[in-house]
């Protein structure tokens, strides 16, 4: 049997989430990166939370700090979907599975997608706990969510323009909330191992300020469907060769917990301005 069309599967998931969350479509969708769950806990109680195990096409996350759920909550008059439980290539997932949650949110009607992540910092002046807006990315996964058969009608051509993947308008709003936010280029690699010092020097030469194992393909999928994208990285550690100590995933989660109050205030204040 052939694999189901990823857009049809995302549309089924979108309908299931809308129905399961009371019939209201999202105004904003937030994808949680590693360590970001404590920040979202500060946004308020969900109206409803659905397990992604009950929804079409959602793979089960296998990484600590990611559990599969979709939360619907309200911030003022804004309906927010929080997508808890990103999956990654290194879990053995396909491009379509990696972007499935973002596609479902965009097809459900979300005009804005906020992509958060934990990232290694390539700039020694950005200590762990630094929040940085993504201005652009280097997709070094060598993969695209638009590979394969062309998107069916009524979706746009796969040849999507990426001149402005990450919305300048949304970055400007975030800077109104917190003018101290850093801004930089995110390099996306496949992982799951951390990079070598030589690879980090290469990325620095290429112009990267942040490095991680997610986000880029989700951003491409969201832009293809017409959503505005805001990317926010939490620097959870200095990258190899910048950090004087070995890297581990536990420090990623600990950094997220420590930064949670500030990140939660940032997200809430930003959403209130939309």
Question: In this predicted structure, what is the pLDDT of residue 165?
Answer: 98
Residue 134 lies in a domain: yes
Say whether 194 is catalytic: no
CA distances (Å), 20 to each of 23, 108, 109, 232, in order?
7, 12, 15, 28
Q: How far apart are CA 119 and CA 212, in angstroms?
A: 5
Residue-by-residue DSSP string for 46-80: -SEEEEGGGSTTPPPP-STT---EEEEEEETTEEE
State the virtual CA torsion across 41, 44, 47, 48 in degrees, nearest 10. 10
Neighbours of 197 (CB within 10 A): 12
213 given a catalytic annotation: yes
For residue 229, tell me if it sits in a domain.
yes
pLDDT at 66: 52
* Residue where the block lists tokens 């293809």: 224
pLDDT score, position 13: 97
Rounded Cα distance between 213 and 248, Å, is 14
Tell me the average confidence (pLDDT) per consecutive run of 10 residues in the chain, 274 residues long: 83 97 97 85 91 91 71 96 89 92 98 95 90 97 94 95 97 96 97 91 96 97 98 88 66 70 91 92
Beta-carbon contacts of residue 168 (< 8 Å; ≥ 6 apart): none
pLDDT number for residue 188: 98
- Catalytic member of 11, 14, 66, 238: 66
Strand stretches in the chain, DSSP E: 28-31, 48-51, 69-75, 78-84, 112-121, 131-139, 182-188, 210-212, 228-238
Q: Which of 41, 49, 91, 254 is catalytic?
A: 91
pLDDT in the model for residue 2? 57
> Would you say 27 and 106 are in contact if contact means Cβ atoms under 8 Å apart?
no
Among the options 214, 216, 228, 239, which is catalytic?
Answer: 214
CATH code, 111: 3.40.50.1580
* Whether 214 is catalytic: yes
Tokens of 160: 């999507």
Residue 268 lies in a domain: yes
Choose the catalytic residue: 29, 69, 213, 260: 213
66 catalytically annotated: yes
Handedness of CA 157, 109, 64, 236 (dihedral sign): positive
In a domain, 141, yes or no: yes
The residue annotated as part of the active site, out of 14, 16, 34, 195, is 34
What pLDDT does 3 receive?
Answer: 67
DSSP state of 21: T
**What's the domain count of the chain?**
1
Catalytic hit among 10, 16, 72, 88: 88
- Whether 67 is a known active-site residue: answer no
Structure tokens at 81: 């979907």
Helix axes of 168-177 and 249-273: crossing angle, nearest 10 degrees: 90
Give residue 161's pLDDT: 96
Active site residue 118: yes
Evaluate whether residue 1 is within a structural domain: no
Q: Is 208 a catalytic residue?
A: no
**Can you name the residues that pair with 235 across neighbouring β-strands?**
119
Contacts of 125 (CB under 8 A, 6+ apart): none
Task: For residue 240, indicate whether it is catalytic.
Answer: no
Backbone angles phi, psi at 108, to 5 degrees: -70, -15
* Residue from 117, 139, 167, 237 carrying the catalytic annotation: 237
User: What span, in angstroms and rounded, lies between the C-alpha atoms of 114 and 171?
Assistant: 11
Q: What's the rounded Cα separation, in Å, for the pair 28 and 130?
A: 24
List the domain range (segments joined by +) for residue 241.
6-273
Residue 51 is assigned to a structural domain of this protein: yes
- CA 199, CA 80: separation in Å to the nearest integer? 37
């Amino acid at each position: 049997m052939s694999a189901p069309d990823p857009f049809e599967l995302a549309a089924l998931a979108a309908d299931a989430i809308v129905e399961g969350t009371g019939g209201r479509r999202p105004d904003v969708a937030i994808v949680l990166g590693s360590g970001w769950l404590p920040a979202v806990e500060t946004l308020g109680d969900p109206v409803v939370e659905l397990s992604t195990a009950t929804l079409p096409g959602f793979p089960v996350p296998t990484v600590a700090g990611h559990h599969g759920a979709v939360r619907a909550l309200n911030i003022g008059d804004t309906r927010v979907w929080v997508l808890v439980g990103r999956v990654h290539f290194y879990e053995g997932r396909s491009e379509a599975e990696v972007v499935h949650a973002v596609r479902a949110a965009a097809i459900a009607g979300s005009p804005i997608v906020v992509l958060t992540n934990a990232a290694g910092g390539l700039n020694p002046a950005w200590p762990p706990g630094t929040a940085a807006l993504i201005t652009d990315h280097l997709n070094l996964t060598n993969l695209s969510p638009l590979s394969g058969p062309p998107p069916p009608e009524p979706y746009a051509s796969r040849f999507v323009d990426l001149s402005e993947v990450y919305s300048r308008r949304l970055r400007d709003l975030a800077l109104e909330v917190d003018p101290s936010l850093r801004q930089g280029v995110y390099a996306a690699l496949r992982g799951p191992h951390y990079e070598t010092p030589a690879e980090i020097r290469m990325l620095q030469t290429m112009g990267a300020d942040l490095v991680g194992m997610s986000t880029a393909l989700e951003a491409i999928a969201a832009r293809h469907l017409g959503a505005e994208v805001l990317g926010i990285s939490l620097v959870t550690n200095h990258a190899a060769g910048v950090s004087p100590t070995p890297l581990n995933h536990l420090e990623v989660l600990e950094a997220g917990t420590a930064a949670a109050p500030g990140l939660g205030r940032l997200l809430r204040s930003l959403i209130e301005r939309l």
